[in-house]
Structure formats: C-alpha cells, structure tokens
Structure 1
Amino acid sequence: MSGLAASKNNPLTTAVSDLRQVFPGAELEIERVDVDGSGFLQLTAATPEGERWFTHDDRGLVERKPLSDSRIPLSKKLSGASAEDLRTVSYRPGRRMVIEEKRNGAITTVLKGYRRRKSTPAALNHRVAEEAMESGSFRIPRLLRHELELETLVFEYLDGDPFLVGKPAVEICFKIGTLLTRFQGLVRSAELKKFQAEDEFGVLDTWRGKAFAGTGALPEGWDEARRSLDEAHACLSETQWGLCHRDLHDGQILLVNGEPALMDFDLLCQADTALDPANLLAHFSLRSLQCFHGADDGTVRACGEALLDGVDRRKDGAFWNRLRFYQGTAFLRLALVYALRPKWSKLCEPLVKLGKKCLEEQIRNA
C-alpha cells in the first residue's frame, strides 16, 4: 500500500482479496477497518444496497449481521420488525449498533444499542451534554428514554445537512468555535473522568498495534515522529481543564436549520481545552488531503482561522503550545487509522509529516 512501509504479511490485503472473491463483480468499497482484541479484522463495506459488515479471522471471511449479534441486546428488536421500519446505519460487531426507526415512512427516532452494562455510562454522558446545550452551547439530539433491558438509548431524530469543510463553511466555523468555548465551560464536567495529556500515548500505542496487526507495517516515518512526542510532552504548558467531546471532527457536526448541532458523546470527559479544537483542525487538514467536497489548503486555512477566532484564544501563548501538541497527536493517530483504509492509505505519509511538523513547532516555541 502506498504510504506504508513494505510488508509481505498484510492481513488487510488478504481480507480485501477474499472479499472480492466472495462477491465477484459486486460494487463494494471498504469504508472502515478495525482490529479487534484478538487481532482479527472487522470490515465495513459500502454497497448500493447499504453497508455490510465482515470479520476476517481464522475461518476466513465471515459476514456479521446485526440481527444475529447476541452481545448487543438491541438485536432482539430487529428480529421483530420489518426492514421498512428499522434501518441499521452503524454497527460495530459485539460492541454497539445505531438504528433509525420509521413511522409512516418518516424517521422519528434513533436507537443506539450497546453491549451489556455500557448504556448507563453513555446515558450519563449525554445528560451532561444536554446541560451544556441548555447553557447555550451546541444543539444536540435529546435523549427521549433509556431502555435498560435493551441497553439502548432512544434519541430524537435531528433532520439536518452535513457540515462540509469549505469556503461556505467559514461563518459556521466561527460559530462552532464560539459554541465550543461555552461547551467547555460547563461546571458539572468536574463529575466526569479526566483525560490527561499522557493518556494520548496509550491511545497512540493502541492504534499502532492495530495498524501493525492489520497491515504488517507502519506508516513511513511514524515511529520517528512518535519518539519526538516525549520531548513535546515535556514542553507542554499547564493543562486548562474543560468539558471535552474527545472525538470532535466534521462528521460529528450536523447543520440543523443552518445552526451547528453536535453528535455522539460516548467519549465525553474532562480534558485540556485545546484538545477538541486541535482534533477538529487536524480533520480539516485531512479533508484537504482527500479533496473532500472540493476542500483545499485555502478553504481549510480559512475555516481553521475562523474556528480559532471563535474560540478566541489567539493571544494565549500557552494555548498555542497545547494546541500544537494535540494537533500532533491527532495527525499521528489519523495516520494509523487511515493505514487501515485501503482507499486512503496513500495519505499516511503526509499525515505523519503534519504531525511531526506540529510537534517540532511546539518544541521550538516552548
């Protein structure tokens, strides 16, 4: 794969080849790949009829169907409903699934089902996010009920448009920055667990293991860039704590009546106020590399500047120190994530270079 060091042992290549053999002539695009705790690949493939899910393990290629997933209690509901009433929009085998529910042909609610004992922490996180909304932050889907027996959260369905990085989004990016500052200031976030700067090392180590297990290699220059992280961490300014989404990217933002709404609070925590904007900025740059919906360096730069204007921390040198650190870790993580996506593995090397550039700038200016 372009962007990865050469390897004779590439399980992902084998899995994709097996998938093509099982479905010859089918229009399949590998959208997402993960590696489970046993080192086996979990693949999400887009087809004209919708997404399909597969595991590639010692048995070879095995299709995974949400209806048959006994580890997620919500699967019971699928067996008693027609395909017209429920549509699976997201699925991670053995972990969680997201389903849209229709009535009279219109989507009314979104059901998010977890494995056992995982829905209660998710519900608590969402309640905190709702408090942030009520304090003037992002619009979020309201939690309508918690069906504990099905380990499922039932949300209102928000009808909106995707947030796309580009010139028309500059004004929205300023609004996102403003709302993010309000979101971070929620006092009750003190009840949530803390995500420390050093926890980024564990996240990167996990993804390093996944990328190597999945491809038999690492992105060119990744280990070298990772070594610079120790020096960057030593130069890090004092943490400024706030409410943190911790998975903030453009795909988590929906425009409802032209206003930004925010989704998915499973990773909600306390963390540095630089983490969320850094992660979002890194994803802006990723969209430029992908030329996603026409994104380029100029539009991404304009969107990034508008976001930071909204955050209103430009004169805070300590904030820039922490922002560059978290941008660096975000780019290094994205390089590993996209090493597992065949269509985009060519982006691994430029993502590593961007991460290294951010860390070097942080160290130089510390």
Structure 2
Amino acid sequence: MVTSLHEVIARLGDSGLRLLKAIPRGPDQLNLEIQDSSRGVLTGQWHRDPARSGAVAADVEATCGAGAAWTLDHSGIVLLEPGADPRLPALRTVLRRPGAQLVAHRLERRAVVREAHGDYTKVMPPELAGRVASALFRVRIPSIAVPRLTDLDVDLGTVTTAPLPGRTFHAELGDHSVTDEDVALASKSVGAAVRELHQLTPSAALPLHDVEAELRVCRRWLTAASDHGLIPEDRWRGGLERAGALLERDSAQVVTVHRDLHEKQVMILRGQPVGLLDLDLLGPGDPALDVGNLLAHFELRALHARSRPDRPWVARAAFLEGYAPGPRLMTRAAGYVLSTRLRLAAVYAFRDAPADLIEDLLNPAKDRGAVP
C-alpha cells in the first residue's frame, strides 16, 4: 500500500508516468497532474484508503464512460483518461475538436486546451466563466496587452482567447542569447506596467483579497505539507508569524491586483506592450502583494539556477526601478516575499523537487534576496 507522496512518485514511475504536481485535498487525499509520454496530460487521485480510489474510479466511469478511469493495483492511485472530469463535463467536448491538445488540467477546478488554430480554451465550472471573461475587459491600459476574448460559453464554462505575441519573461530569463541589458529593459517595462495596473480603480463587486486571506492561503499549503510529512511545522511557523508581523505594521492601500504575478504570467515582445496572462484572480488587494510575489519568484529562479545565477537579480533591480515603490510599500512587500517563499516551499514539496530547493525557500537568510 502506498502511504506517502514519495511512494506515489515511485509508483507512478514504475508505470512510466511522471508526476507534474500534486494538490493536497486533506491529509488522506492528493489530486494529481501527471505526464504520460504516450497520452499526454493525465489527472488522478491518491487516497490513503485504496478502497476509496476504487469507488472514485467507478463514479468517474459512470459519468464519463467505461475505461475513463482505472486504479494502479492496491496503491490507492486512480488515474483518469485525458479530459475525464465529472466536474468539468465540457472538457471532453472541447477535446473532441480536431487538433485540440490538453495543456494543463487541475482536476475538478480548471483545464487549458490549445486549439488547432492556436487559441486557448479554459474549461472551468460554469459559475466562474463570466467572471474570468469579464476580467479581460477591466484592463484597458496602453502599456499592457491582455488576451483577446474570441469565444465565451457561460453555460458550458468555456472561455477562449487568442494567444499573446512574444514569449514569457521566464523564457527571456533563461535564454543565454539575451543580454543583461535587454533583460533589464524588459523588466523595467514590467515594473512600469504593473504600477499602471495598480492605478486602476478596484471593482467593488469582487471580494477583497486582504492580508488575512493571503496568510490563510499560505497557512493552508504549509499545514497540508506538514500533514503529509513533507515539512515539519516548526520549520515554517516562525516564518509565517514574521510575515504576518511585517504585513500588519500599517494599513494597506487597496488597488486592482493581478494576485498571481510571476514571470510565467508576463509576455515580452520588444517594442510592444507588456502582456499579462491569467487574469482570473484580478481584483481588489494590496499592491505590495503583486510586488512581493514577483520578487519571490525571481528568488525562486535564482535558486533553480536555470539561467546565470545573477540574471534574476538583474531583473529584480530593474523591475523595482520601473515600479518605483515607496518605503512603506517595500516594507509590506518584504512580508509578501516571505509568505510567498513559504508557500512556494510547500507547493514544490508536493512536486518531485530537489530537497535543497525546499530548504533554501524555507531559509531566506541563505541568499541575497532576503532583504527587499
């Protein structure tokens, strides 16, 4: 019987599968996103009780058809065919389109499909489709490009957009043919664009994502990592308290924030506006949240060493030059850098990530990004 994430990874590997990410759904369940070299992206679940995985397989087959789910022996792992998801019934319909390719799938939450003509279709619970689509119309700033809506079906829960030109800032950082000067220019423009985003009047119709909400998300991930035996609680509790103390020093300004800003959400094309992807969480919040989240991701890339070790720091300095934050915002950003690092430690603990990366994320004093 499989009893831990590490055993889940090993059991999948024995079947020629690679875990992309695991999402905790309580101490006894994980939702899985898996890469299969022959079938592409699969989803699945692990249950501590193997009988539960058998029941899930039966339920999925009853909804999505025979053969849509199967279990791996008595491991507690149930796997779903590409597109099988009882909560996202439109996904299989979208995948039947000629040339459609499943790019990502978070079971019961969301999937992304690349259409044959290049557009991307997000499939989600129908009640979310209208909000996701409307976010695309809230950002009307000359220095920012957002995906153009090409199709919307609220009843099915599908939102289709045209791709943005250019490539992700993540790719720019990792490209050795791109000079530090070009990286700095791009990052400075990102800083200026994010500052303009934060000038937009926040929508009163959307819920405020305040400090308590952000710390709650972070605590949920860290608690799950402890529940699954991945990170001891005494390794993160003090850091989370320090983050909370930094964020409670003064009240936050409320602006329109992206809420998931990192370098994979930013598109760069020389001479063109900065592109922003995945505006699904756009809403009222603290501007320091976006700043701190992006700074923490620069640190993550430095720890990953996917580019020259100093490249993310070049980007970091230029971003701050472009955004030009004041001292109060930077104090709060320091709190969000810390909370984001802790959350990322938990997120990567649920992936097949190197142990030293998790350790470095838990120890901000180990690298030069500890002080904004």
1:67 maps to which of 78, 83, 88: 83
Task: Tell me how far 1:147 sits from its aligned partner.
Answer: 0.6
1:253 maps to which of 262, 266, 277: 266
Corresponding residue for 2:120?
110
1:1-366 alignment runs, 5 A limit: 11-21=4-14, 23=15, 26=16, 28-36=17-25, 39-49=28-38, 50-57=40-47, 58=50, 59=53, 60-78=76-94, 80-82=96-98, 85-103=99-117, 107=118, 109-128=119-138, 132=139, 134-164=140-170, 165=173, 167=180, 168-218=182-232, 221-234=235-248, 236-256=249-269, 259=272, 260-292=274-306, 294-296=307-309, 298-313=310-325, 316-354=326-364
Change (3 A) 1:176 1:216: closer
Asked if the contact 1:219–1:352 (Cα under 8 Å) also holds between the matched residues in 2, the reply is no
* Cα distance in 2 between the residues matched to 1:36 and 1:200: 19
Asked if the contact 1:13–1:215 (Cα under 8 Å) also holds between the matched residues in 2, the reply is no
Task: Tell me how far 1:179 sits from its aligned partner.
Answer: 0.6
2:22 counterpart SS class: strand
TM-score, length of structure 2 as denominator length: 0.82
Change (3 A) 1:284 1:361: closer
Task: Tell me how far 1:216 sits from its aligned partner.
Answer: 4.9
Change (3 A) 1:37 1:119: farther
Change (3 A) 1:230 1:101: closer
* Cα distance in 1 between the residues matched to 2:371 and 2:263: 25
Asked if the contact 2:95–2:113 (Cα under 8 Å) also holds between the matched residues in 1, the reply is no
Corresponding residue for 1:4?
none
* Cα distance in 1 between the residues matched to 2:317 and 2:328: 18
2:145 counterpart SS class: coil
Corresponding residue for 1:3?
none
Change (3 A) 1:92 1:257: same
Change (3 A) 1:251 1:120: same
Asked if the contact 1:141–1:156 (Cα under 8 Å) also holds between the matched residues in 2, the reply is yes
What CA RMSD, in Å, does the superposition of the two structures yield over aligned residues? Answer: 2.7
Change (3 A) 1:230 1:38: closer
Amino acid at match of 2:267: L
Task: Tell me how far 1:37 sits from its aligned partner.
Answer: 5.1
* Cα distance in 2 between the residues matched to 1:225 and 1:179: 31
Change (3 A) 1:160 1:204: same
Task: Tell me how far 1:336 sits from its aligned partner.
Answer: 0.9
Asked if the contact 1:324–1:358 (Cα under 8 Å) also holds between the matched residues in 2, the reply is no
1:187 counterpart SS class: coil
- Segments of structure 2 that go 5 or more residues without pairing to the other structure are 54-75, 175-179
* Cα distance in 1 between the residues matched to 2:342 and 2:367: 11
Identity rate, percent = 25
2:353 counterpart SS class: helix
- Segments of structure 1 that go 5 or more residues without pairing to the other structure are 1-8
Amino acid at match of 1:309: E
TM-score, length of structure 1 as denominator length: 0.83
Change (3 A) 1:257 1:45: farther
* Cα distance in 1 between the residues matched to 2:370 and 2:267: 34
Change (3 A) 1:97 1:202: same
Asked if the contact 1:328–1:358 (Cα under 8 Å) also holds between the matched residues in 2, the reply is no
2:137 counterpart SS class: helix
